[in-house]
Amino acid sequence: MSGQRRTAPGVELLSIGNELLLGETVDTNATWIAARLASEGIAVLRKTTVGDDVALIRDALAAGLRRCGTVICTGGLGPTPDDLTRHALAELYARRLVVDDAWLDVLRARYARRGMTMPAINRVQAEHPAGATLLPNARGTAPGMALADQERGLTILLPGVPSEMRGLLEAEVLPLLRERLRPAARFESRVIRTAGISEAALAERIADIAGDVAPLSLAFLPQGTGVDLRLTFAGSSAAAGDAVRSEAGSVLLDRAVARLSERLGHDVFALEPVDLAAVVGGMLRERGMTLAVAESCTGGLVAKRLTDAAGASDYVRAGFVTYSNDAKRDMLGVAETTLAAHGAVSEACAREMAEGARRAARADAAMAITGVAGPGGGSAEKPVGTVWMAVALESVTHVRHVIFPGDRSEVRERSAQAALDMLRRALAGTLHG
């Protein structure tokens, strides 16, 4: 299936849907595919989004194929009339649409097993351009499809429902791509995740050694809640010696990651693309410790992030969302006098929340967050963004105070990250003051 037009090593992604252009839906599919392909060393060279229009889809597919020979396209395979991707594919490759009777039987049998008759509307989901390979979808009614010729290259269509897209990519698409894309298309990258240090400060800390990473490339990725560093080794497109070069790339990456992360010390929380909450969870599990979380302004965000990880029940004993003063008093035992004298956004309240949560949940450690997320509730003394965080661990309760920039959602995200980072440093024994 190698096409003469394949000029760049990698793939392009094409997302279909007016909802994406209207901002109604975040395109998490494209992000997920990109991350999954990156982990296989397959480069995504471009992402494009167009609306539900046959000509636009056809032309965007054609342009992507001309540039790199392989396009993965998501969306527009549903049963309703605004699902046009299969028509665009048929036009581009000049094929007619045919019905796959075997898939129709699969669909009818699935409905029958649930005691139902297949709605007539689903019949179009067995249609595909003649010559395309149907990729069976175990989780939904829209099959994926793959179509390739010498002139145009390979197009893969996947449904837009995330779980269906993921299942098909793993089972059907990755094996195809691993075979198709020669090692020349491969690259390798590593990430160094930091917390508690600004982009400019981070750049200055490593300024004298950043140039030494060549021929690797180094990128700074500010995340709003911290800064990631990414080191990339790009595979050469010369056919000879790729395997050797790729091995040398791994060694260079290992060396550069070790040197940079040594310089950055405790500000590094991970050498892989993993959430800080998962890192903290791993540290708790390693130490056999349990945690209680008391949240006011973050409203459950920290507990949600900690429990994103399977098996979090091993260390998350309990979370308290104490949005009101009454709840802080009743659930955590914050003193009425503390609330009256200092208010809920105060050092004393944060401290009592953490200690109360630890006591109430009979946990080994606890963290607490109380602040003004905005947009209302700010004052001259406690402007929007003012947040107090506390970590109770062993005999010490650490308390910290920050005024975070940003809107309500950003203040909440940054508070959650900063509090988790406090706990990380406390567990590592590197939190002072």
316 lies in the binding site for a copy of itself (CB under 8 A): yes
Exactly one of 133, 225, 236, 307 binds a copy of itself (CB under 8 A); which one? Answer: 307
Total of residues contacting a copy of itself (CB under 8 A): 107
71, 6 contact by CB (below 8 A): no
The single residue among 5, 36, 110, 263 that binds a copy of itself, judged by CB under 8 A, is 36
**Using the rule CB under 8 A, is 174 a contact of a copy of itself?**
no
Q: Binding a copy of itself by CB under 8 A: which of 71, 177, 257, 306?
A: 306
Contacts of 206 (CB under 8 A, 6+ apart): 260, 263, 264
**One of 41, 51, 183, 333 touching a copy of itself (CB under 8 A):** 51
331 binds a copy of itself (CB under 8 A): yes
Integer CA distances (angstroms), 73 to 15, 146, 155, 177, 263, in order = 6, 10, 7, 14, 42
The single residue among 2, 163, 237, 250 that binds a copy of itself, judged by CB under 8 A, is 163
Which of 106, 156, 353, 361: binder of a copy of itself (CB under 8 A)?
361
Of 430, 426, 416, 409, give the one whose Cα is nearest residue 364: 426
Among 237, 375, 403, 430, binds a copy of itself (CB under 8 A): 375
Taking the C-alpha atoms of residue 267 and residue 151, their distance in angstroms, rounded to an integer, is: 51
**C-alpha distances in Å from residue 134, one per residue of 84, 101, 147, 426:** 17, 11, 9, 53
> In terms of CB distance, is 43 or 156 closer to a copy of itself?
43
Instruction: Name which of residues 397 to 416 contact a copy of itself (CB under 8 A).
Output: 405-410
Inter-helix orientation angle 325-332/347-361, to 10°: 40
Write down the H helix ranges in 310-431. 325-332, 336-342, 347-361, 408-428
**Please, which of residues 239-278 interact with a copy of itself by CB under 8 A?**
273
Window 195-224: contact mask with a copy of itself (x via CB under 8 A): ----xx--xx--x---------xxxxxxxx
Q: Are 235 and 246 in contact (CB under 8 A)?
A: yes
Q: Given the DSSP bridges, would you call strands 365-371 and 291-295 parallel, antiparallel or unpaired?
A: parallel
Residue 136 interacts with a copy of itself (CB under 8 A): yes or no: no
For β-strands 70-74 and 11-16, DSSP reports them as parallel
Q: Does 232 bind a copy of itself (CB under 8 A)?
A: yes
Q: Does 41 bind a copy of itself (CB under 8 A)?
A: no
> Should residue 192 be labelled a site residue for a copy of itself when binding is judged by CB under 8 A?
no
Binding mask 79-118 for a copy of itself (x = CB under 8 A): xx-x------------------------------------
